[in-house]
């Protein structure tokens, strides 16, 4: 890491540096790294916005100052080199064949725009027939669904949605629904131009059998496959060559400790990805997506440049990012089971279909019967209990009984997460808050919000 200490006299700094007493980061050093978190809040929603340690924020600040000190020199001699270094580290982490397959972009939403705009252009330019289909899960992230509306449906494409079974017991349930969706997409002789597969769905959160789904797409002649893996890097093992999709996007600011916002988009070399362009067109248009993405006009590129410091941070933990992933997974499952036992409910998916987030059924006596109810409960937990956790409403489907607790049908699930800064207290706070609401005979309809 290049810190402010390294400027000037590196040797002297080396001599005056404090010796490190343990090989791995200590509990108190972890607490220091996240000392900027608002005290008193049980943050069990790492999934939405991620988290960034102090050392990475300092590095980001250094990059910002480097630019401001001498912008021209930085533009001509520092920026590209710095971004290439970040891309190379990501390329090695995700097993891409070539660094030219890896672009750094702002976020998964930008990745979706890049992929869907090239599909939209193919419709608009008559390379695809009107009504050719694009496939995605019904619970695809809202930004992706809206992008589908903006770039694909308006250009003449048909959008087919695959229902994600939930609560769920095994991969086979997803595979069966996905095959049904593909059949529907291919009906009337339509071609399937794109399938979007979530690696880890957002709400409800489930790890999908992504490799198998990509394989089925290939077998069924789907033109392009885009994996929306917004939550993947830092929470599950990723090897883009083994997964085999044309496009794979993952945020580095969610589970890989980078500052907001930075993501990588992998575009498999060869074939269809060649028409992919950054939605913001600047001087580098036509020079390949990685180069286009590394200059989209004057702005702050520091989050892309701070990526190597995030690698240093994860490597200060035993087992590096894999060690973090495993411990987060084990802990979040344990905490999920503790909550389910206290509330008399269930996990929404088995542990092997979860990464660092787990869905836990909420007591039916909360009477959550709409998305608005779920949001009201979430706001109440934030305002009155200092607990930050997303809540998913799952209405019973026609002809299905639904999962029950002692008092009725479970209609809502909390999505809990575990990251290195979490402690047992965070989950106990959530458990006690829900138990208190139920014991006081309140339902989500009568809860106050600020």
Ligand X SMILES: Cc1ncc(COP(=O)(O)O)c(C=O)c1O
Instruction: Decide: helix, strand or coil at residue 434.
Output: helix
The answer to whether residue 304 forms part of the interface with ligand X (CB under 6 A) is: no
Tokens of 418: 């575990």
Of the candidate spans 63-71, 102-110, 297-305, 442-450, the one that interacts with ligand X by CB under 6 A turns out to be 102-110
Size of the site for ligand X (CB under 6 A): 13
Give the span between the Cα atoms of 303 and 63, in whole angstroms.
Answer: 9
**Site for ligand X, residues 193 to 232, rule: CB under 6 A:** 198, 202, 228, 230-231
The answer to whether residue 108 forms part of the interface with ligand X (CB under 6 A) is: yes
Helices (H), 347-423: 371-385
Q: How far is the CB of 203 from ligand X (least distance, A)?
A: 8
Pair 402, 410: CB distance under 8 Å: yes
Instruction: Kindly tell me which of 140 and 160 has the beta carbon lying closer to ligand X.
Output: 140
**Site for ligand X, residues 38 to 77, rule: CB under 6 A:** 48
Pair 415, 389: CB distance under 8 Å: yes
The answer to whether residue 355 forms part of the interface with ligand X (CB under 6 A) is: no
Q: How far is the CB of 48 from ligand X (least distance, A)?
A: 6
Give the span between the Cα atoms of 332 and 417, in whole angstroms.
Answer: 6
Q: What does each C-alpha distance from 353 to 228, 255, 301, 359 come to in angstroms? A: 17, 17, 35, 11
Instruction: Kindly tell me which of 59 and 107 has the beta carbon lying closer to ligand X.
Output: 107
Q: How far is the CB of 138 from ligand X (least distance, A)?
A: 13
Instruction: Kindly tell me which of 25 and 112 has the beta carbon lying closer to ligand X.
Output: 112
The answer to whether residue 273 forms part of the interface with ligand X (CB under 6 A) is: no
Instruction: Decide: helix, strand or coil at residue 102.
Output: strand
Looking only at the bridges linking them, the beta strands covering 192-198 and 224-228 are parallel
Q: How far is the CB of 366 from ligand X (least distance, A)?
A: 24
Instruction: Kindly tell me which of 84 and 143 has the beta carbon lying closer to ligand X.
Output: 143
Q: How far is the CB of 202 from ligand X (least distance, A)?
A: 3
**Site for ligand X, residues 176 to 195, rule: CB under 6 A:** none
Q: How far is the CB of 392 from ligand X (least distance, A)?
A: 12
Helices (H), 256-319: 289-293, 302-305, 307-315
Q: How far is the CB of 143 from ligand X (least distance, A)?
A: 5
Instruction: Give the length of the chain.
Output: 450
The answer to whether residue 422 forms part of the interface with ligand X (CB under 6 A) is: no
Give the span between the Cα atoms of 322 and 187, in whole angstroms.
Answer: 43
Q: How far is the CB of 402 from ligand X (least distance, A)?
A: 25
Query: How many Cβ atoms are within 10 Å of 18's Cβ, its own excluded?
Result: 5
Q: How far is the CB of 9 from ligand X (least distance, A)?
A: 40
Instruction: Kindly tell me which of 197 and 377 has the beta carbon lying closer to ligand X.
Output: 197
Of the candidate spans 106-114, 288-296, 331-339, 441-449, the one that interacts with ligand X by CB under 6 A turns out to be 106-114
Q: What does each C-alpha distance from 332 to 2, 51, 224, 329 come to in angstroms? A: 34, 17, 34, 5
The answer to whether residue 251 forms part of the interface with ligand X (CB under 6 A) is: yes
Instruction: Decide: helix, strand or coil at residue 393.
Output: strand
Instruction: Kindly tell me which of 202 and 302 has the beta carbon lying closer to ligand X.
Output: 202
**Site for ligand X, residues 116 to 145, rule: CB under 6 A:** 141, 143-144
Quote the DSSP letter at residue 404: B
Q: How far is the CB of 218 from ligand X (least distance, A)?
A: 22
Pair 201, 137: CB distance under 8 Å: yes
Give the span between the Cα atoms of 357 and 352, in whole angstroms.
Answer: 11
**Site for ligand X, residues 310 to 329, rule: CB under 6 A:** none
Give the span between the Cα atoms of 242 and 259, in whole angstroms.
Answer: 28
Give the span between the Cα atoms of 258 and 413, in whole angstroms.
Answer: 28
Task: Check the CA dihedral 425-431-437-441 and report its sign.
Answer: negative
Q: How far is CA 124 from the centre of its chain?
A: 30
Q: How far is the CB of 437 from ligand X (least distance, A)?
A: 27
Instruction: Kindly tell me which of 109 and 345 has the beta carbon lying closer to ligand X.
Output: 109
The answer to whether residue 109 forms part of the interface with ligand X (CB under 6 A) is: yes
**Residues forming the site for ligand X (CB under 6 A):** 48, 107-109, 141, 143-144, 198, 202, 228, 230-231, 251
């Amino acid at each position: 890491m290049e810190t402010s200490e390294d400027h000037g006299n590196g040797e002297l700094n080396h001599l005056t540096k404090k010796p490190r007493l343990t090989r791995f980061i200590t509990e108190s050093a972890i607490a220091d790294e996240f000392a900027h978190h608002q005290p008193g809040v049980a943050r069990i929603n790492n999934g939405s916005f991620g988290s960034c340690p102090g050392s990475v924020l300092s590095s980001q600040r250094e990059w910002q100052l480097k630019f401001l000190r001498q912008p021209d020199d930085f533009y001509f001699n520092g920026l590209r080199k710095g971004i290439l270094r970040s891309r190379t580290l990501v390329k090695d982490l995700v097993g891409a064949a070539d660094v030219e397959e890896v672009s750094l972009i702002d976020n998964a939403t930008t990745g979706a725009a890049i992929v869907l705009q090239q599909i939209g252009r193919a419709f608009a330019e008559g390379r695809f027939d009107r009504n050719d289909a694009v496939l995605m899960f019904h619970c695809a992230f809202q930004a992706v669904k809206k992008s589908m509306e903006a770039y694909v449906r308006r250009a003449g494409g048909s959008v087919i949605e695959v229902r994600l079974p939930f609560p769920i017991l095994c991969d086979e349930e997803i595979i069966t629904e996905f095959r049904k969706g593909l059949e529907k997409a291919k009906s009337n002789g339509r071609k399937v131009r794109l399938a979007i597969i979530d690696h880890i769905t957002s709400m409800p959160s489930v790890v999908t059998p992504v490799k198998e789904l990509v394989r089925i797409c290939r077998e069924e002649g789907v033109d392009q496959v885009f994996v929306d893996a917004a939550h993947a890097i830092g929470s599950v093992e990723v090897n883009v060559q083994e997964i085999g999709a044309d496009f794979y996007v993952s945020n580095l600011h969610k589970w890989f400790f980078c500052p907001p916002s930075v993501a990588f988009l992998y575009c498999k070399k060869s074939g269809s990805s060649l028409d992919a362009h950054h939605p913001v067109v600047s001087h580098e248009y036509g020079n390949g997506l990685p180069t286009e993405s590394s200059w989209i006009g004057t702005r702050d590129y520091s989050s892309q440049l701070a990526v190597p410091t995030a690698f240093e941070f994860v490597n200060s933990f035993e087992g590096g990012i894999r060690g973090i992933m495993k411990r987060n997974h084990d802990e979040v499952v344990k905490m999920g089971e503790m909550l389910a036992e206290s509330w008399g409910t269930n996990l929404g998916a088995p542990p092997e279909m979860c990464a660092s987030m787990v869905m836990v059924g909420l007591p039916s006596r909360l009477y959550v019967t709409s998305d608005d109810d779920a949001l009201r409960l979430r706001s109440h937990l934030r305002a009155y209990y200092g607990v930050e956790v997303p809540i998913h409403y799952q209405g019973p489907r026609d002809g299905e009984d639904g999962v029950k607790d002692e008092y009725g049908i479970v209609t809502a699930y909390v999505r809990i997460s575990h990251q290195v800064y979490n402690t047992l207290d965070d989950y106990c706070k959530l458990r006690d808050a829900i138990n208190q609401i139920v014991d006081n005979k309140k339902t989500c309809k009568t809860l106050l919000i600020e």
